[in-house]
C-alpha cells in the first residue's frame, strides 16, 4: 500500500514539504508511484489525523509530521517555514466566539518575517 510509503516519507521529512517535494522523495525510491496517488494519500492521512496540513498563502500546501501544538512562521525572503513553540494565546477561542457568535472549532496562525539565516545577508 502506497499510503504507508507516503506516510513514512512525511514522517522522515521535517521541513514542511509540499506535495510535490513529498512526491519527489517518494518517487526516488518508488519510481512507479504517481503524483495523484501521493495527493490522494496525503489527503487521507490528513483526514485521519496522521499528519497535518499547513496552508500558506500564495503557495502549495505543506505537510507536517508534527502533530503537537505549535504554530508556523514563514520567512518572507527564502520561503522556509519554521516551527514556533509557544503556549496558545489565552482565551483566544472564547474571545472570538464572544466577538463573532461563531462556534470556533479550530484556527491557524501564520506568522511572516525574516529568518535568522536571511537576516545575515
Smallest Cα–Cα separation from 26: which of 52, 8, 43, 44? 8
- Residues 25 and 5: their CA atoms lie apart, in Å, by 10
Q: Which of 32, 101, 120, 121 binds a copy of itself (CB under 8 A)?
A: 101
* Residue 95 is a binding residue for a copy of itself (CB under 8 A): yes
Partner that binds at residue 20, options a copy of itself, DNA, none, CB closer than 5 to 8 Å by kind: DNA
* Residue 102 is a binding residue for a copy of itself (CB under 8 A): yes
* Residue 79 is a binding residue for a copy of itself (CB under 8 A): no
Do strands 62-64 and 71-75 pair parallel, antiparallel, or not at all (unpaired)? unpaired
Q: CB 45 → DNA: shortest distance, Å?
A: 11
Do strands 52-54 and 62-64 pair parallel, antiparallel, or not at all (unpaired)? antiparallel
All 3 cell numbers of residue 90? 489565552
Beta carbon nearer to DNA, 1 or 102: 1
* Residue 66 is a binding residue for a copy of itself (CB under 8 A): no
**CA distance readout (Å), 112 to 56, 72, 116:** 10, 9, 13
Of 3-11, 13-21, 27-35, 72-80, the window that binds a copy of itself (rule: CB under 8 A) is: 72-80
Site residues for a copy of itself, 27-56, by CB under 8 A, read 53, 55
Amino acid at each position: 500500500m502506497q499510503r504507508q510509503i507516503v506516510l513514512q516519507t512525511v514522517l522522515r521529512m521535517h521541513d514542511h514539504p509540499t506535495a510535490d517535494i513529498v512526491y519527489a522523495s517518494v518517487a526516488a525510491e518508488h519510481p512507479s508511484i504517481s503524483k495523484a496517488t501521493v495527493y490522494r494519500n496525503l489527503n487521507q492521512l490528513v483526514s485521519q489525523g496522521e499528519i497535518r496540513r499547513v496552508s500558506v498563502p500564495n503557495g502549495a500546501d505543506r505537510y507536517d509530521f508534527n502533530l503537537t501544538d505549535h504554530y508556523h512562521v514563514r520567512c518572507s525572503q527564502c520561503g522556509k517555514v519554521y516551527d514556533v513553540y509557544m503556549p496558545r494565546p489565552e482565551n483566544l477561542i472564547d474571545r472570538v466566539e464572544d466577538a463573532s457568535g461563531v462556534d470556533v472549532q479550530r484556527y491557524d496562525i501564520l506568522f511572516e518575517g525574516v529568518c535568522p539565516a536571511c537576516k545575515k545577508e
